């Protein structure tokens, strides 16, 4: 018999992402329709630790007129205390005080670790991937990714105009923490001369310099090089070296948190609504400790623990200093082989995007 939920909480955690509000709205409206009580938890997991004053019983009007708003009306915080057992226990006590018997957590990989901690103490959680980085390995898309990429494209299209006028190069650093997805897809969309991401083991700066020289000599006037922020301490120096070694005047732009704001795109609003409804359905079906993934256009439930292992397994394949997860050994050889194959599939997708970006920007 599936657990009967009466009261659920909803929170947003980690870096905010456009579309989080659309997800909060979908969870709230649908859960209320299904007869549940809904509690908005403000300031992420910090709100659960604080309790009274950070938790509000929601009615339908509490999530009105937010679908088009960037950021998160529930606010967010990176709650370092939530790594300590005493604070997790405090959060569980607060859930019991309010009678909250399930929580929908919206955020990135750190959010899912917090959710899995609450699950350990018997508070079922359903995660919704909300991060502009799109670096939740098990889902094809996370909420905020599409909007962030469109923001980057609009900014770089503007930079290209002025580079064309003045025959300049612009090196642009974009967010994504350790994942290069924003850089990769936007490099294709803006026709960047090159893209630099951690996931590319074959990146060759000398070849980039030569490419700019050849293209400039052939009359090309504008050059854009996109660098993912995960490539540490690289982008600004590259701009200086391009100017020094090619003679092309080179500027530098770090888009930083501009990429995090703005009204969510249609794609993110629809994804958020689909994931919000799916999260409530999973709770009502008695699914616990899973998160909502988009896979080939479908909403599927993925075990949070497995998702964390797969995430670390994939990221450790290209992130300097990141070790594969020890928890991988807890799974059967067959399941481990499936996890590795999934990570190889993700790596192949990145390789294809890199090839498309390079092939369409060839100047040979
Ligand atoms: O995870 C989303 C993200 O925007 C990353 O792309 C970025 O590196 C990080 O958050 C920035 O964190 P903060 O907003 O805490 O500075």
Phi, psi of 55 (to 5 degrees): -130, 130
Q: What is the dihedral of CA 283, 117, 120, 310, to 10 degrees?
A: 80
Q: How far is the CA of 176 from the centre of ligand 1 (A)?
A: 7
Q: What is the DSSP string of 304-352?
A: HHHHHHHHHHHHTTTSTTPPPPGGGGGS-HHHHHHHHHHHHHHHHHHHH
The minimum-distance atom of ligand 1 relative to the CA of 135 is 1
Q: How far is the CA of 58 from the centre of ligand 1 (A)?
A: 29
The minimum-distance atom of ligand 1 relative to the CA of 108 is 1
Among protein residues, the one whose CA lies closest to atom 10 of ligand 1? 15
For ligand 1, mutation pick of 18, 43, 133 (most atoms within 8 Å of CB): 133
DSSP label at residue 35? T
The per-residue b/e assignment along 255-272, b for 16 or more CB within 10 angstroms, e otherwise, is beebbbebebbebbbebb
Q: Which of 133, 135, 146, 311 is the catalytic position?
A: 133
The finding on whether 151 has its CB within 6 A of some atom of ligand 1 is no
- Rounded CA gap, 362 and 129, in Å? 35
Q: Which residue has the tokens 């070790």?
A: 323
Q: How far is the CA of 50 from the centre of ligand 1 (A)?
A: 24
The residues of the chain scoring below 70 in pLDDT are 1-3
Give the per-residue pLDDT at 2. Answer: 57
Q: Is the pTM of this model over 0.75?
A: yes
The finding on whether 175 has its CB within 6 A of some atom of ligand 1 is yes
CB atoms near residue 232 (< 10 Å): 9
Length of the chain: 364
Q: How far is the CA of 6 from the centre of ligand 1 (A)?
A: 34
The minimum-distance atom of ligand 1 relative to the CA of 16 is 2
Q: CB-based contacts of 101: which residues, under 8 Å, 6+ apart?
A: 3, 5, 6, 7, 8, 95, 123, 124
Beta bridge partners, 25, equal: none
Among protein residues, the one whose CA lies closest to atom 2 of ligand 1? 15
Q: CB-based contacts of 263: which residues, under 8 Å, 6+ apart?
A: 18, 68, 69, 70, 147
- Rounded CA gap, 256 and 157, in Å? 17
Q: How far is the CA of 360 from the centre of ligand 1 (A)?
A: 30
Contact (CB, 8 A) for 154 and 332:
no
Q: What share of the chain is helix, strand, coil (3-state, %, to 5)?
A: 50, 15, 35
Among protein residues, the one whose CA lies closest to atom 6 of ligand 1? 176
- Rounded CA gap, 291 and 302, in Å? 5
Beta bridge partners, 227, equal: 173, 196
The minimum-distance atom of ligand 1 relative to the CA of 230 is 8
The finding on whether 176 has its CB within 6 A of some atom of ligand 1 is yes
The finding on whether 135 has its CB within 6 A of some atom of ligand 1 is no
Give the per-residue pLDDT at 78. Answer: 79
Contact (CB, 8 A) for 131 and 89:
no
Give catalytic status of residue 200 as yes or no.
no
């Amino acid at each position: 018999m599936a657990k009967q939920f009466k009261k659920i909480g909803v929170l947003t955690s980690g870096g905010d992402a456009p579309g989080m509000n659309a997800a909060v709205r979908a969870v709230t409206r649908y859960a209320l329709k299904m007869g549940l009580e809904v509690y908005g938890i403000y300031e992420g997991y910090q709100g659960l630790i604080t309790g009274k004053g950070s938790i509000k019983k929601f009615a339908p009007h509490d999530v009105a007129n937010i679908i088009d708003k960037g950021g998160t009306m529930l606010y967010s915080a990176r709650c370092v205390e939530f790594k300590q057992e005493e604070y997790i226990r405090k959060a569980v006590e607060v859930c019991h005080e309010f009678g909250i018997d399930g929580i929908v957590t919206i955020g990135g990989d750190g959010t899912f670790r917090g959710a899995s901690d609450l699950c350990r103490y018997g508070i079922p959680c359903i995660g919704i991937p909300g991060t502009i980085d799109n670096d939740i390995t098990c889902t094809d898309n996370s909420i905020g990714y599409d909007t962030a990429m469109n923001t980057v494209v609009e900014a770089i299209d503007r930079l290209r105009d002025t580079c064309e006028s003045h025959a300049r190069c612009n090196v642009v650093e974009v967010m994504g923490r350790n994942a290069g997805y924003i850089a990769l897809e936007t490099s294709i969309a803006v026709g960047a001369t090159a893209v630099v991401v951690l996931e590319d083991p074959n990146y060759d700066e000398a070849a980039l310099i030569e490419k700019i020289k050849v293209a400039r000599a052939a009359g090309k006037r504008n050059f854009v090089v996109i660098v993912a922020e995960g490539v540490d301490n690289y982008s600004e120096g590259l701009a200086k070296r391009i100017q020094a070694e090619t003679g092309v005047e080179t500027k530098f732009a770090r888009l930083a948190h501009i990429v995090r704001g703005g009204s969510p795109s249609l794609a993110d609003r629809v994804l958020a609504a689909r994931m919000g409804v799916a999260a409530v359905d999973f709770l009502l079906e008695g699914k616990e400790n899973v998160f909502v993934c988009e896979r080939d256009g479908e909403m599927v439930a993925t075990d949070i623990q497995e998702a964390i292992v797969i995430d670390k397994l994939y990221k450790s394949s290209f992130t300097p200093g990141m070790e594969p997860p020890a928890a991988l050994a807890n799974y059967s050889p067959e399941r481990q082989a499936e996890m590795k194959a999934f990570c190889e599939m993700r790596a192949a997708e990145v390789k294809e995007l890199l090839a498309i970006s390079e092939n369409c920007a060839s100047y040979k």
